[in-house]
A and B are shown apart, each in its own frame.
Chain A
Amino acid sequence: MSTITTPGGFAGRPASPWFARLAQFGATGWIGIAVIAFWALAAIVGPALLSRTGAAGGGAVFAPISADHWLGTDYLGRDMLARVIEGARYTVGVAFVATLLASGIGTLLALLAAATGRWIDAALSRGLDTLTAIPSKMFALLMVAGFGSSVPMLIATAAVIYVPGAYRMARALAVNINALDYVTVARTRGERTGYVMLREILPNIAGPMLADLGLRFVYVVLLLASLSFLGLGVQPPAADWGSLVRENIGALADAGSSVIVPSLAIASLTIAVNLVIDNLPGHSARERGVR
C-alpha cells in the first residue's frame, strides 16, 4: 500500500546519494543525532574544557544548582557537572562497545546457524540457550569475582550476557530469509556459505537487527548502571552514570540534583539512540525501489 499512498512517482528516480538519504530523517531522528553527538563530544573533549576536575572535593555536600556549581555537588562536595561529563566516557564507551560486540557476534553466529543448518545450528542454539539460563546479574557477579573489575572485563561481561538475545533475534529473521527463493538461487549457483550469509541474508535482516541493537544498547546501559549501583562496575573514584546515581542516593529524599542529573543523562542517551534507529531509512525505501 505504501507505493500507492506515497504522493508522486518515485519510480523513475535513479539511486540517490547519501545526503539525500539523510534528508529523509524525520525531526525526531535529528534530535536523537544531536543528543548522541552531544554526549559523544562530552565524552571525548568534555574533561579538557572543564575548569575543575571531578576529583576536587571539599565544598558543601549535596549543594543545589548555583552559578559556581552548575549542577550542584555530590555527597563529597564534588562538582556534579564534572562528574557527569567524566562518567560519560565510561557509560557511552563501555556500553557502546559492549553492545556492538554483543549484536555483532550474535548476528554472525545466527547467520552461520541459518546458512549451514543442522548440527552447527543445533550446537550453537543449545550452547547459547545454556548461557541464557544463567541470571545476568549472577553471571556478572561471578565474572567480577573471578577476574576483578576493569573496563575490558565489564565490556566482555556485558557482551557475553547479551549475545544469546541478539542471536535468537537474528536467527529467527535469518531462517525466514534463508527459505526464500533468491537464497536458493544463490545456492544452486554454487555460492559458498560466506557469500550467502553476508551478501544474501545479512542486508535483509540489517534493519530489524539495528532496531534490536538500539534496544540492546539500552539494556547494556541499564546493566552497567545496576552493576555500578551494586558496586561491581566501574570502581571509585572513577564513576559511570550508574555509579553516580548509587553514590548520591542519599540526596533522593530531598530530590537533589546530584541524583536526578545522572538519571536524566541515562534516559536522554537511551531515548536518543532509539530515536535515531527508528528513523533509519530501510524498509520503506526498499519497497519504493529506490536507494
Chain B
Amino acid sequence: MGSHVTVDKLTVSAGGATLVDALSFTIRPGEVLALIGESGSGKTTTALALMGYARRGCRISGGSVRIGDIDVLGLGARQLRALRGSTVTYIAQSAAASFDPSRTILDQVVEPACLHGTMRRAEAELKAIALFRELALPEPESIGQRYPHQVSGGQLQRLMAAMALITDPEVVILDEPTTALDVTTQVEVLRAFRRVVRERQVTAVYVSHDLAVVAQMADHILVLRDGRMREVGATERLLAAPQNEYTKSLLAAACPAPRASVAGSGDAEVLLRVQGLSAGYGPRGRDGRPAVMVLQDIDLELRRGQAIGVIGESGSGKTTLARAVAGLLAPSAGTLAFHGRPLQPALAQRTREDLRRIQIVFQSADTSLNPSHTIERILARPLQFYKRLHGDALRRRIAELLDLVKLPRTLADRLPGGLSGGQKQRVNLARALAAEPDLILCDEVTSALDTVVGAAVLDLIAELRRELGVSYLFISHDLHTVRSVCDEIVVMRHGRKLAQVARADYQRGPHHPYYEQLARAVPELRRGWLDEQDRARPALAA
C-alpha cells in the first residue's frame, strides 16, 4: 500500500530563474497523479524533487515534500540515500540509457534490494522473476540472464519497472516511460505498468506530455506550464470540462482535426512515380542486391498538390524510402520518375533543377541546422545556390520566407542554439521552401516536438500546401498526425508496402489487419480506452 504524498509550496530555482514556482498538491495513497506539460514546464524537475533531488545547477529553494511521515527535504545525504530506491523509486524515460550494458539484467534489477539490505540476493532473484512474470515479460526465468542489448526497448522499459518495484516502494515516479517507444509497443508497456500499479496499490507520479496516455493511467491530472500549476482535477472532469485556457489548447492539440485538403488534387498530373523500388545497405552481392535489404518492391504515385503519409513502426523502411527519393541512397532495383521524366538514382547524377524540386526536412531540428550559421545565412544559401539572388533581393526574400513560416524577422541574426524546438523546425521548413520545390519530403517533422507546438507546425504545413501547392511525402509513426494532414496513407512494414488507404476511407473499413492494429494502438483521449482494448483482445487472439 502506498503512502500519502503532500507537496507544499515547492520551489526549485536555477541561478536567477525559477523552474518550479510554489507548487502544492497531494496524492492519496494508491492513487496515480499525472504531471503534464510541454518540455521546460518543470514536470521532471518536480518529479525529481519528490526524491529530494535537484539536477546540477538547480536548487530546491523552498517548500516541503512529505511522503507518509517523512519530511523529504529535511533529510541528510545518508537518509536520502536510504529513501531513494527503497521508499521512492524512479523509472526513467530511456531505459536503454539507464541500464549498464556490461552487466546482466538480473544483476541490476536485484541491486536496489541488495543495496538497501531489504532481502538476500536469492530471495531478491525469486522476487524479480515473479515481477517479470507479472509484467508479462517473455521467458521470465531466463530473461534476467541476458544483457540489456539483447532485449527490445519495450521489454527493457518493463525490466526497469521491475527494478523500481523490487523494494516494494511506497511511491513510484514514472518519467515519460513510453515516450521513446513505438505505438504498438507503447500499448503493451502501458498495460503492464497499469496492472502492477493497480495491483500493488502503490502511489505513483506519472510524468508525460501525452494526454491520451495519461488518461489511461492517472486518477488525477495536474497541468503545469512555466513551473506553475494551471489546473488540477480528476481525470474525467479535466478531460470533459477543462477550465484553464492552456488545458483546452492541450486537449485540442491531442486530437488533431483534419486539415483542409486541396480540392481537385485527385486528377492532377502525376508528380512522382515510384515503380518496383528496392533498396538496402551494405556491399552489393553478385546479383546487385545489397547485403541488407530495407525496401522491397515499392510502388507509389504522388500527384501534384497531394500529400501522402507513410506510416509504420521503426525499422519499417519509411525513412529509407525518403532517402531513396532524395537521391541519398541509390536503389538496387526499380525506377523513379518525376514530372514524367526518369529521375537519376544517385545524387551526383541529378541536375541542379531536379535537386531544387525535391527538398527534404528532417525530424531533429537540432541536427539539421548548422549551429555555427545564423538563420539568415541558413536561408540565404539555397537562394544564392539555386536562384543566384544577392543584395536587396536576397534580404527581401529571406524576410518573406520568415513571414511565410510565421517567425519574427528579428530572428535572422540569431544562431540556431537560441531558438526553441518549434522555431527551429519552422526555419527548417523555410529552408526547404526557399528552393521553391514541388515536393517536400517530411521525415517525422513533428515527432520531436511537444503536442501544442507540433500541432502548430502541422497547421503551417497544411497552410503552405494550400497556398503554394507543394506536395508532401509525409513520414511518421503517428497515425493521428498522418491522418490530419494527408490525403492518402501508405502503410509499411518490414520494407514492404502493405496497404494504401485514401482519406475518404479512413473511418470506413475493412482495412489491412496491420493498419487496423496501428489504428487501435493509438491511445484515445478518454478514460477506459485501454480497458476496452483489454476486453477486445481475447476476441482478437481467437
Contact = CB atoms under 8 A, between A and B. Distances in A.
Contacts of B347: 187-188, 190
A286 B368 contact: no
A126 interface: no
Q: Which of A8, A180, A182, A286 has the most CB of B within 10 A?
A: A182
B374 A188 contact: no
A4 B17 CA distance: 7
25 contacts: A1-B55, A1-B57, A4-B14, A4-B57, A4-B58, A5-B14, A8-B16, A14-B410, A14-B413, A15-B413, A181-B367, A186-B381, A188-B328, A189-B381, A189-B385, A190-B356, A190-B385, A191-B385, A204-B372, A206-B372, A286-B415, A287-B417, A288-B418, A291-B374, A291-B413
A154 B2 CA distance: 75
A186 B359 CA distance: 10
Given A8-B16, A190-B352, A203 B419 contact: no
A212 interface: no
A180 B365 CA distance: 11
B382 interface: yes
A182 B368 contact: yes
Interface of A: 1, 4-8, 10-11, 14-15, 180-182, 184-191, 199-200, 203-204, 206, 286-291
B14 A189 contact: no
Contact of A182 (B350, B370, B419): B370
A100 to B, nearest CB: 21
Given A1-B56, A4-B15, A188 B360 contact: yes
A179 to B, nearest CB: 9
B371 interface: yes
A11 to B, nearest CB: 6
Contacts of B355: 188-190
A180 B419 contact: no
B353 to A, nearest CB: 10
Q: Which of A180, A203, A288 has the most CB of B within 10 A?
A: A180
Nearest to A284: B417
Interface in B317-363: 326-328, 347, 350, 352, 355-356, 358-360, 362
B327 A188 contact: yes
B364 interface: yes
A22 B350 CA distance: 45
Q: Which of B358, B364, B418, B435 has the most CB of A within 10 A?
A: B418
B218 interface: no
B362 A181 contact: yes
Contacts of B14: 4-5
Q: Considering the complex of A and B, which 9 residue pairs feature the smallest CB-CB distances, nearest first? A: A289-B418, A181-B368, A203-B372, A289-B417, A5-B57, A181-B362, A190-B355, A7-B16, A182-B370
Tell me the dominant secondary structure on chain A's binding face: helix
Given A4-B14, A190-B355, A185 B362 contact: yes
Contacts of B350: 190
A189 B380 CA distance: 13
Nearest to B17: A4
A182 B362 CA distance: 9
Contact of A289 (B19, B57, B414): B414
Given A10-B418, A15-B374, A190-B347, A185 B57 contact: no
Contacts of B9: none
Nearest to B414: A289
A7 B417 contact: no
A290 B418 contact: yes
Nearest to B435: A189
Nearest to A206: B372
A188 B328 CA distance: 7
A181 B56 CA distance: 30
A4 B19 contact: yes
Given A185-B362, A190-B347, A288-B417, A5 B15 contact: yes
Contacts of A181: 362, 364, 367-368
Contacts of A10: 418
Given A181-B362, A289-B417, 13 more contacts: A6-B15, A7-B15, A7-B17, A11-B418, A185-B360, A190-B350, A190-B352, A286-B415, A286-B417, A289-B416, A289-B419, A290-B415, A290-B418
Nearest to B365: A181
Interface string B408-446: 001001111111000000000001000100000000000
A7 B19 CA distance: 13
A204 B413 CA distance: 18
Contacts of A203: 370, 372-373
